[in-house]
Structure 1
Amino acid sequence: MRKSLLAPGAAAALVLALAGCAGADDAGSSADADSTDAGTEWPESITMSLVPSVEGENLAEALDPLTSYLSDGLGIEVEGVVANDYTATVEALGADQAQVIITDAGSLYQATERYGAELVLRDVRFGATSYASVAYTNNPDKYCEDEPVLATYEASGIELSYCNGLEEAGAAATGQGPAATDVFGDLAGADVALQAATSPAGYQYPVVLMREAGLDTDADITQIPVEGNNNAVLAVANGDAEVGFAYWDARTTVTEEVPDIADKAVAFAYTDMIPNGGVAVTDTLPDDLVAELTQLMDDYADSSDEAADVMFELVGLSDWTAETADDEIARYGEILEQFAG
């Protein structure tokens, strides 16, 4: 059983209530008021668990600017602890060893489902809180109902090819799915480059859509195992697979190796949007503390140039947002459950 941060206050309220049992009604009312006050009392410190992008000796240095900023803003100590992996952040929250976690989408789902945690912020990377898995092909005649068009991937300024109405010719690509998923049934008999079964973009979301299209992904396609999003794209570009799946838009990672990647790998479908991770808090924290913490973290990246650098170096993010899009996390959880065990 988790020990509440407010246990001392609750115990004090109980003593007051017992002491007032033999008194008048107004004494009982006073005890109730004391209990209410105790219930919103802030703890002297809270602990934040995260999996940083940096390693080794830089950990303390990387964590300190964020925790110092939060400590100063809240007026209580905020301690940062490093988790070995994202699952460990959930277990730390469940054991009340951490009251705030910065973690991936799957762990956010587990924290909310298993421990009643509250999702308060979502990660922003390059302006987006989620991304699609993309189906790429070197055989557009089979999978495209129209001629491929070029649209610009603004993060790198590169023009890439899309068909089936995924993007508008000459415009900035949006990468918003799901789109053109009705063609997933056409993958029967194809060689398909898939990443590890733990990869949302490289395996899980595409496999679910193929199954929903009626395919047996163990029998109806030939799986070509690859490691990494870049290799999924290269498998298509090099002709090792007719179709490959990777995040939007992984083609930008291979442009030096394959300058004509827009010709050799055409995007023909987007899956559902895959959520970035975010920030969750335990249900033992007072609401007003959660509100102030959320606002401080939401403002952190804009608080200084140093903060923006620290955030990117610490957890690979450009910002947090309070627009949590809980439905995307719920959908992610449904998909994860299909691959549990």
Structure 2
Amino acid sequence: MRKHLIFTGMAAITVVALAGCSSPAPDTDDAAWPESITLSLVPSVEGADLAEALDPLTTYLSENLGIDVEGVVASDYAATVEALGTDQAQVIISDAGSLYNATERYDADLVLRDVRFGATSYASVAYTNNPDKYCDDEPVMSTYAASGIQLSSCNGIEIEGETLTGEGPAGIESLAKIGDGTKVALQAATSPAGYQYPVVAMREAGIDTDADITQVPVEGNNNAVLAVFNGDAEVSFAYWDARTTVTEEAPDVAEEVVAFAYTEMIPNGGVAVTSSLPADLVEQLTELLDGYADSSEEAATVMFDLVGLSDWTNETADEEITRYGEILVEFSN
């Protein structure tokens, strides 16, 4: 694998030292298993709940593997990569960018992808308050299954009366209609859905995002939607589907803010392991993690509370992670 792409210059990256553990055996099927392995992650919970939240998962793994599995809390996703690279952790649960770094820099193996509400990836949505300009057809209403809310879209990216899919790229050619001086609400440059993927998509549509548009800075996906709803911008971008986050303050957002394009899919994170672990250990560990959410009601709760997931899948779609890494390169300086 390539080893030259390192994103240490990104603003979100901070390296910290994590507690160590014994070194694993070479990567062979018949190699002796280590007495313990360490799992590094960035949990969703905070403070005193960390140890309690980690314990059910590490206990489950320890009991089923027959070796000690220790859980270590990282301060951020980049720290999980450095922990794996220095052999202070042999398993990491991290975001897509960190998984890419781990595979590129340390030859780690991607074994699982995160599943959130049935999906392993999501699109950035282009929203507008000017459908006459950006829509080639009349907007239609479709159902967002997670909340039952009806939301509007055009350009054939969804089917009227059916469940929204949120699958892209779709309607992406309509981005070329963003004219000179158009006010476009964009989030921080570190945001995949609010900045990175939209900027790449606009550039590929022939738009100079520094000179051709008027960037309207916003903080958060909800504010990206509200910028269009309130008329502060003609176009905005946010994750699929951020309109559901503002229905209280903007009850008619479903009609007034129309989705007219989806970018290519942005990958969820997942699980990576060091390449030096025995292959049969990796296989069993992967199967156990893959089945954890279904092992008990407590496990499903822990899974969501700990890392905000509903499941893992061994269908890793490595090409999505690779593409994410390529896009990160454009924004690493």
Partner of residue 173, structure 1: 164
1:313 maps to amino acid: D
Are residues 1:289 and 2:308 paired?
Answer: no
- What is the Cα deviation at residue 188 of structure 1? 2.4
- What is the Cα deviation at residue 5 of structure 1? 2.1
Counterpart CA distance in 2 for 1:4 and 1:57 is: 29
Greater share of helix residues, 1 or 2?
A: 1
- What is the Cα deviation at residue 4 of structure 1? 5.1
- What is the Cα deviation at residue 264 of structure 1? 1.4
Q: 1:337 aligns with which of 314, 325, 329?
A: 329
Larger radius of gyration: 1
Partner of residue 70, structure 1: 61
Q: 1:307 aligns with which of 299, 306, 321?
A: 299
SS at match of 1:302: coil
Q: 1:271 aligns with which of 263, 272, 290?
A: 263
SS at match of 2:249: coil
Counterpart CA distance in 2 for 1:187 and 1:47 is: 49
Counterpart CA distance in 2 for 1:81 and 1:283 is: 19
Counterpart CA distance in 2 for 1:103 and 1:188 is: 38
Partner of residue 51, structure 1: 42
- Contact 2:175–2:202 (CA under 8 A) maintained in structure 1: yes
Counterpart CA distance in 1 for 2:23 and 2:255 is: 59
Q: 1:6 aligns with which of 25, 37, 44?
A: 25
CA deviation string 1:20-49 (max 9, x = no partner) = xxxxxxxxxxxxxxxx78x61100000000
- What is the Cα deviation at residue 128 of structure 1? 0.5
CA deviation string 1:125-154 (max 9, x = no partner) = 011100000000000000000000000000
> What fraction of aligned residue pairs are identical, expressed as a percent?
75
Are residues 1:113 and 2:104 paired?
Answer: yes
Partner of residue 209, structure 1: 201
Counterpart CA distance in 1 for 2:32 and 2:135 is: 60
Query: 5+ unaligned residues in a row in structure 2: which ranges?
Result: 1-19
Partner of residue 119, structure 2: 128
Counterpart CA distance in 2 for 1:103 and 1:136 is: 29
- What is the Cα deviation at residue 191 of structure 1? 0.3
CA deviation string 1:146-200 (max 9, x = no partner) = 0000000000000000000010000001000000111112112210000000000
Counterpart CA distance in 2 for 1:223 and 1:101 is: 36
1:124 maps to amino acid: V
CA deviation string 1:282-338 (max 9, x = no partner) = 001000000000000000000000000011000000000111111110110110011
Are residues 1:92 and 2:83 paired?
Answer: yes
Counterpart CA distance in 2 for 1:129 and 1:209 is: 21
Partner of residue 182, structure 1: 173
Partner of residue 149, structure 2: 158
1:234 maps to amino acid: L
1:137 maps to amino acid: T
2:266 maps to amino acid: I
SS at match of 2:263: strand
SS at match of 1:159: strand
- What is the Cα deviation at residue 62 of structure 1? 0.3
Query: 5+ unaligned residues in a row in structure 1: which ranges?
Result: 11-35
State TM-score, norm by structure 2: 0.92
SS at match of 1:272: coil
- Contact 2:126–2:237 (CA under 8 A) maintained in structure 1: yes
Partner of residue 60, structure 1: 51
- Contact 2:23–2:34 (CA under 8 A) maintained in structure 1: no
How much is the aligned-residue C-alpha RMSD, in angstroms?
1.5
State TM-score, norm by structure 1: 0.90
Structure 1 runs (4+) greater than 4 angstroms displaced: none
Counterpart CA distance in 1 for 2:150 and 2:48 is: 40
SS at match of 2:265: strand
Counterpart CA distance in 2 for 1:340 and 1:285 is: 31
SS at match of 1:64: helix
SS at match of 2:143: strand
SS at match of 1:56: coil
